[in-house]
Structure 1
Amino acid sequence: MTDAPKHRFYGRRKGRPLRPTRQSLLDTMLPALSMPEGEGPFEPASLFDPAPREVWLEIGFGNGEHLVWQADANPDVGIIGAEPFLSGVGRLLSYLDERPRPNVRIHADDVRPLLDRLTPGSLSRVFILFADPWPKTRHHERRIVSTATLDRLAVLMRDGAELRLATDDMGYLRWMLEHTLRHPAFEWTARRPGDWRERPADWPPTRYEQKAITGRKPIYLSFVRRPR
């Protein structure tokens, strides 16, 4: 049995009361899209029918705009979205209610117990976009980009898999670079300043990014899983 994580990397799970329609989606639609029950390991590709070409994971999908875009652009890829904030989960469900995306599954909770259950080498891409930077020093242990998370992702990501990170917080940027550059499993792909200053064509903006971009400059980082 996996112990519960000691520190949360997110704040509250609930904000204002959900609209009745979104609460209804949480009650009726979410169970069918959620991870299998139990504590044992499972192969994430088994969640999808037909079997996907690859499985990707987005950690902290916010309101789901990026996840939905990727699902539409890559219908042969299975995408798992993890998000503990129920308002964001409800918003993603509303997108899926408007138009079903059979290649999307949802983990509406802390992602770390899920990471403990996925089989090694099962992920081909992982997104951690604009995660909470937890700027106060006493809260740095809550940051999702950490040695422990990278260690687990190194197990779950196949050779050559891509890890995408983004932030508009310079303190968190330094933190992410410090942890990823010293990790033996990951290699930064940047070769010129534009590689981190310019958003790639297959990296759509999130609602958070569009709101923040007038005040701060987002940075886009891409790493690959080195061969074992």
Structure 2
Amino acid sequence: MTSRTPDPQFRPIRTFGRTGGRALSVRQQALVDDMLPGLTVPVGADAALDPHALFANAGPVCLEIGFGGGEHLIEQAQRAPGTGFIGCEPFIEGMAKALTGIKENGLTNVRLWMDDARPLMASLADHSVDQAFILFPDPWPKKKQQKRRLIQPDFLAALHRILAPGARVRFATDVASYADEALTRFLAHGGFAWQAERADDWRTPPEDHVPTRYEAKRLGDCEPVWLDFRV
């Protein structure tokens, strides 16, 4: 689903696990084959794409990186029909579920990217995204795996470039070492202002949060940690 084919030797380290599992149902496969191409973001030259042009409304644009089963993405898009949502998810079953939600709810404010989020981010114009969600990314809990975690200095530099002044970023994880590492890296960047004023601000789900099935499984080693930032 990508229009660019980077040289494998220069491809960044993979930050996510498998991209496929059980076979899709006939209906899901039809959505992937017939509906996804029309919703796929046309990734091209670096910093050339204004994401506002992808949507009929000239409202804000929200980027969700790794939307899992799509519950959060679909509900947020329903709540804010004047906002354009771009959802990234390399796992085909998650993409099929998101397509189902888009179709069943008649959503016209969602575009999709079934691949690594970083080529998509590279294509977006400077200061063109108003909000970003990074909720429960692959935690890579083993020490030798942690270099695969998404929140790295290069990723944060790329994210900061595409965020508009005043943009909001939400990161969540249920792995304690990742929460500590991510907070350290966001703050070390210098362009992300952590919004927490007391412990409940990072211990309690934000009022506008949409719970997901992954979150409910409690697979991590701690209760979810919510880190909200402003640019």
TM-score, with length taken from structure 1: 0.93
Structure 2 residue 54 is the aligned partner of structure 1 residue 43? no
What SS is found at the alignment partner of 2:132?
A: strand
- 1:217 maps to what in 2? 223
Cα shift at 1:137? 2.1
Following the alignment from structure 2 to structure 1, what is the Cα–Cα distance between the partners of residues 40 and 106?
15
What SS is found at the alignment partner of 2:61?
A: strand
Cα shift at 1:5? 2.7
1:61-210 matched pairs, under 5 angstroms: 61-210=67-216
Following the alignment from structure 2 to structure 1, what is the Cα–Cα distance between the partners of residues 45 and 128?
17
Aligned residues: 224
Which digits, 9 at most, give the CA deviation of each residue in 1:191-221, with x for residues without a partner? 0111011111111111111121897411111
| Counterparts in 2 of 1:213 and 1:135: CA distance versus 1, 3 Å | closer
Following the alignment from structure 1 to structure 2, what is the Cα–Cα distance between the partners of residues 194 and 213?
21
Following the alignment from structure 2 to structure 1, what is the Cα–Cα distance between the partners of residues 176 and 36?
35
Following the alignment from structure 1 to structure 2, what is the Cα–Cα distance between the partners of residues 44 and 214?
34
Which digits, 9 at most, give the CA deviation of each residue in 1:92-143, with x for residues without a partner? 1111121221111100111000011000000110000000111122222211
Structure 2 residue 12 is the aligned partner of structure 1 residue 6? yes
Cα shift at 1:38? 3.5
Segments of 5+ residues of structure 2 without an aligned counterpart are none
Cα shift at 1:21? 0.7
RMSD: 1.7
Matched-pair contact (CA < 8 Å) for 2:173–2:224: yes
Which digits, 9 at most, give the CA deviation of each residue in 1:155-211, with x for residues without a partner? 100111111000010011111011011111111000011101111111111111112
Following the alignment from structure 1 to structure 2, what is the Cα–Cα distance between the partners of residues 5 and 205?
33
| Counterparts in 2 of 1:108 and 1:214: CA distance versus 1, 3 Å | closer
TM-score, with length taken from structure 2: 0.92
Question: What is the identity percentage for the equivalent residue pairs of Structure 1 and Structure 2?
Answer: 42
